[in-house]
Amino acid sequence: MQADLLDEAQRAIARTLPARRDDYRLGYHLSPPAGWMNDPNGLVYFRGEYHVFYQHHPYSPQWGPMYWGHARSADLVHWEHLPIALAPGDPFDRDGCFSGSAVVDGDTLYLIYTGHRWLGEAGNDEQGMRQVQCLASSTDGIAFTKHGAVIDTPPHPDIMHFRDPRVWRRGDHWWMALGARQGDDPLLLLYRSRDLRQWDCLGRALEGRREADGYMWECPDLFELEGRDVFLFSPQGLEPDGHERWNLFQNGYRLGRLDERARFVAESELREIDHGHDFYAAQTLLAPDGRRLLWAWMDMWQSPMPSQAHHWCGALTLPRELSRDGDRLRMRPARELAALRQSRQALAIGALESGSRTLEVRGALLEFELELELTGSSAERFGLALRCSDDGRERTLLYFDAMARRLVLDRQHSGAGVSGVRSVPVAPGQTRIALRIFLDRSSIEVFVDDGVHTLSSRIYPRPDSLGVGAFAVNGRGVFAEGAVWSLADLKL
């Protein structure tokens, strides 16, 4: 039955591909060949290659019963789409193979995921659901055999939301973190196993309260980073607070320690890990060289998704290297991404006085490195205009706001459907802002001050909106010399 369902899903994608339009198709980011994509799942290194699985609906560009899409790469740059790995349809996952993780044990690759069933009308939480944790395995990394539910009941009858298993090796045991919800309060649950099949519940590693912590912690990830434990998660139900938390849902982390009683002792407040419009469900992978790599879904629930009209939807961020700076995390682009660079052009903007300048740069797939000089600048705002149309109607702005002392990403005129601004603080006394910017056909990722902050957002300009400019408002803006590269169009 599983093989038939997978074959049918692959045929659905093949039928859709001739009708797919690529106006917004990303050149070097992972996105589905057709249909819908959301959370990255099962990030794993197996037999000399990186594997990325993802939540996938192959039959339409809308969310539906979840399958596991699959891609692999030897270098984190060039990706190969593989056959769909998991299809819903068995009694334990009839309505969806929800998010989870992957591990390698010996010569076998295991997927651990949430099997989902609606107890009433599909999508109706009030009528109930049943969520269980399931296991599948493969010896070739392509064809998977399901082994059914390995955890079939939550630890308390009041827990209905019970999903997104994150499994890792610690000592002689496998450990599993699960996000859960009891009433209106979120929980982090921990389990332990010797064989991936029989699991013992270790209890509640961390408990939250609706008012301060949201009502659900999705996609939990627990890992050690440079001597501290990190709890990375996606809280739902938080209200905006100042400049923070303006997306429908967020992605955040707390630093702390996982103690001998299997309790996570938080030692920092919740911090957003990315401040753009489109970043959710981040998950990590420990690379063979010891780096902690991260991907996230580069979209947000209930946001405009113009590519749905083109028979595909969803993308993942670029892979990022995580490091720790005291009680904060840094994210830098994976070093392998330098292989995308093609022609280089110097960027010598200099000082700009109360005006704008069109630069001799054009393109949809670009990488920028430059610095904004705050010392010597008097403008209220100054920065870059990206993906500009010749008629002036489309542009994505990235600029320093001197009055608010914030770096602002403004997509009020970034193309079809999208709007809004996001920003990150600039410290008092800071003299420069270092920027590394990746543009793709329908995305922008900004790395600020060597990864202290990041902003990831989808944009949907017209294909011919390719201009780049610099501007300064009511004063002098100073740009240090930089560079811009055209990037390879890999048509992933």
Q: What is the pLDDT of residue 127?
A: 83
> Which residues are known catalytic residues?
39
Instruction: Output b/e per residue, 404-442; b: 16+ Cβ within 10 A.
Output: eebbbbbbebbbbebeebbbbbbeeeeeebbbbbbbbbb
Cβ contact 408:421 at 8 Å: yes
- Residue 120, pLDDT score: 87
**What would the pLDDT profile of 137-152 be if each residue is shown by its tens digit?**
999 999 999 999 999 9
Taken in order of first residue, the domains within the chain and their CATH numbers are 2-333 (2.115.10.20), 343-487 (2.60.120.560)
- The band of 293, judged by pLDDT with boundaries at 50, 70 and 90, is very high
* β-bridge mates for residue 279, sequence order: none
pLDDT in tens, 385-425: 999 999 999 999 999 999 999 999 999 999 999 999 999 99
Asked if residues 446 and 422 have their Cβ atoms less than 8 Å apart, the reply is: no
Among candidate residues 171, 168, 180, the one with its CA nearest the CA of residue 205: 180
* pLDDT on residue 213: 95
Owner of token pair 């099997």? 115
Residue whose C-alpha is closest to residue 365's, from 198, 239, 230, 492: 492
Average pLDDT score, the chain: 97
pLDDT digits (tens, 9 = 90+) for 298-357: 999 999 999 999 999 999 999 999 999 999 999 999 999 999 999 999 999 999 999 999
Give the strand pairing for 432-440 and 421-425. Answer: unpaired
Provide the Cα torsion 72, 151, 203, 189; round to 10°.
30
Cα dihedral 194, 198, 203, 209, rounded to 10, equals 110
Instruction: Give the model's pLDDT for residue 205.
Output: 98
Give the C-alpha distances (Å, rounded to integers) separating 351 from 253, 344, 378, 404, 448.
39, 22, 11, 21, 21
- Asked whether residue 429 carries a pLDDT value surpassing 90, the answer given is yes
Confidence (pLDDT) at 230: 98
pTM > 0.85: yes or no = yes
